Amino acid sequence: MGPKLGIVAGGGELPGLVADACRAQGRDFHFLALRGHADPKVIGDGPADWIRLGEAGTGFERLRQAGVADVVMIGPVRRPTISELAPDLRTARFFARVGLKALGDDGLLRAVAAELEHEGFRVVGVHEVLADCLAVAGAYGQLSPDAQAEADIARGVEVAKGLGALDVGQAVVVQQGLVLGVEAIEGTDRLLARCGELARDGVGGVLVKLRKPGQDRRIDLPTMGTATLAAAKQAGLRGIAVEAGGALVLGREAVAVEANRLGLFVIGIEIVA
């Protein structure tokens, strides 16, 4: 167990999983929950301060008061509009420095990480606190991709790498060599729903999720769990490929069981740069 962990919490269930991991290790933690993003049910009765995104000054202060040394940033944060931000002085100075154009892409998250370090915190990656969730190489369940699925995965990797290099998306759906959809900011759920409607007859496609080239693993990793499997099944896919060491698979055992139940494959693939 390490020093007290600050969990800057965005949306979804990931912040809760980090807290669970801390509890399991007997490690102290403190949530800095982002209002409008973090889910109160996920934060639960854990020690927490709630702030708006625009209250960086308050946030740094709260983390310090809580005695936090390491900080992890976890869970999606929708790009704010300026009016939502209503930045405090500290935040306004920050935006003046990084430039508002940083808003909305990985640049913002990288800048926030740099700012946290500048304030004396150590920014740790979710893969360090949720090491069990980092995707491993190989099949998670009983099924593996056949030759067509392998070819679709290869095409998906090619496209996802190209997209990632442009700092756009992390996810691609390919069916029989045809790219059904690529993800920008809409999220994997919407991508899958759309691709379900666009799917062609014959054997179903695959979802490929990769880390962006050069992506800071401390900040944002592509993620999948049993809900992703359900959405993939609904969209007529045959399986999901994630980057080994570059994606999070939430609940290895649960994912394997659900993949088997649905008749899908889940596979961690090694990506060479």
Closer of 39 and 84 to a second copy (Cβ): 84
- Residue 86 CB, shortest distance to a second copy, in Å, is 13
Closer of 178 and 254 to a second copy (Cβ): 178
Binding-site string for a second copy from residue 38 to residue 77, where x marks contact by CB under 8 A and - marks none = ----------------------------------------
Interface region with a second copy, contact rule CB under 8 A, candidates 116-124, 199-207, 221-229, 251-259: 199-207
Residue whose pair of structure tokens reads 């940083």 in the numeric block = 102
Binding-site string for a second copy from residue 201 to residue 240, where x marks contact by CB under 8 A and - marks none = xx--------------------------------------
Closer of 168 and 244 to a second copy (Cβ): 168
10 lines the binding site for a second copy (CB under 8 A): no
Binding-site string for a second copy from residue 74 to residue 113, where x marks contact by CB under 8 A and - marks none = -----x-xxxx----------------x-xxx--------
Instruction: In whole angstroms, give the CA distance from residue 63 to residue 115.
Output: 13
Q: Which residues contact 240 (CB under 8 A, 6 or more apart)?
A: 206, 207, 208, 209, 224, 228, 229, 232, 264, 265, 266, 267
Lookup: tokens for 203: 């054997």
Q: Which of residues 140-179 bind a second copy (CB under 8 A)?
A: 151, 158-159, 162-163, 165-166, 168-169, 176-179
28-61: burial string, b at 16+ Cβ within 10 Å, e else: bbbbbbbeebbbeebbeebebbbbbbbbbbbbbe
DSSP 134: B
Of 1, 131, 137, 184, the one binding a second copy by CB under 8 A: 184
Lookup: tokens for 77: 């944060």
> What is the sign, positive or negative, of the torsion defined by CA atoms of 49, 40, 100, 159?
positive
Closer of 3 and 162 to a second copy (Cβ): 162
- Residue 184 CB, shortest distance to a second copy, in Å, is 5
Q: Which residues contact 150 (CB under 8 A, 6 or more apart)?
A: none
Of 181, 196, 236, 239, the one binding a second copy by CB under 8 A: 181
Q: How many C-beta atoms surround the C-beta of residue 125 within 10 A? A: 19
- Residue 194 CB, shortest distance to a second copy, in Å, is 6
DSSP 221: -
Is 231 buried (19+), middle (13-18) or exposed (0-12) by CB count in 10 A?
buried
Binding site for a second copy (CB under 8 A): 79, 81-84, 101, 103-105, 151, 158-159, 162-163, 165-166, 168-169, 176-182, 184-186, 190, 194, 198, 200-202
